[in-house]
Amino acid sequence: MEKKITLQDKTFKIFIPNSEIEKAIDQVAARMNKDFSSYTDSNPPVMLCTLNGAVMYAAELLKRLTFPLEFKALKLTSYQGTKSTGEVKAELPPSIANFKGRDVIVVEDIVDTGNTIVTLKNLLEDLGAAKIFVTALLLKPEVYKKDVKLDYVAMSIPNRFIVGFGLDYNELGRNTEDIYVLDS
């Protein structure tokens, strides 16, 4: 029997089991550990987690990274229900704004339209970030048409609405270890 969950008025079926997610994160972490091995405690990169969706990906990634880094979180929103509003809103706490001359690793849960990544890249550039790297757990390549380079993508998926492993439907479903797709 296929594993399913129901969140409010929608039913979702298993799409990516946790074992596949973990393997993909292992691969991203190995690449990042190699690429960031020259960083030191005196000038570590800042890992910037986009809340709330990327929390689980960031936590799993953090456990695997071996280079020195600072960790900060930033709340960005662009979804209502199952649709993107097309407008990205950033909640920037004062403690987060010190990026001048720093290298920043942006941690995203999913990249589809790319509006969030573009907004965040522009914001970090305005705050004086030296280099900006982007890692995403999931990429929807058929939707993503922006010029911002995604440096570390764990998995590419088709353009379908998903929940789980940090991703939500109306703030529900983030706490599942697997990723689920809308069951049509």
Q: Using CA atoms, how far apart are residues 15 and 10, in angstroms rounded to an integer?
A: 15
119/48 Cα distance (integer angstroms): 14
Give the position of tokens 């379908």: 160
Backbone angles phi, psi at 8, to 5 degrees: 50, -115
Which residues have C-beta within 8 Å of that of residue 33, sequence separation ≥ 6? Answer: 64, 65, 66, 67
Among 112, 147, 151, 168, which one carries the catalytic annotation? 112
Query: What single letter denotes the amino acid at residue 179?
Result: I
Two tokens, residue 57: 């990906």
For residues 115 and 78, the answer to whether their CB atoms sit within 8 Å is yes
Contact 156, 139 (CB under 8 A): yes
Query: Which residues touch 20 (CB under 8 Å, ≥6 apart)?
Result: 155
Q: Tell me whether residue 103 is one of the annotated catalytic residues.
A: no
Residues in the chain, total: 184
For the beta carbon of residue 33, count every other beta carbon within 10 angstroms. 13
Which positions are annotated as active-site residues?
112
